[in-house]
Amino acid sequence: MVQFGQLAKFHAGIGTPAFLAVVVLTMVASEVFDPRLMWDAAKVNG
């Protein structure tokens, strides 16, 4: 838990692992997905 005096309190709970999973999956997806392949396939199929 992080406290910033009277301004705010931050408690890392159950959402932290879920957020980290989304970040990691987004990074992996951006490395794997190549939109040029999709456009090349669209040109071949008409």
The answer, yes or no, to whether residue 26 has pLDDT greater than 90, is yes
Closest alpha carbon to 10 in 23, 20, 1: 1
Q: What is the mean pLDDT of residues 6-31?
A: 90
pTM of the entire predicted model: 0.56
Report CA 18 to chain centroid distance, whole Å. Answer: 10
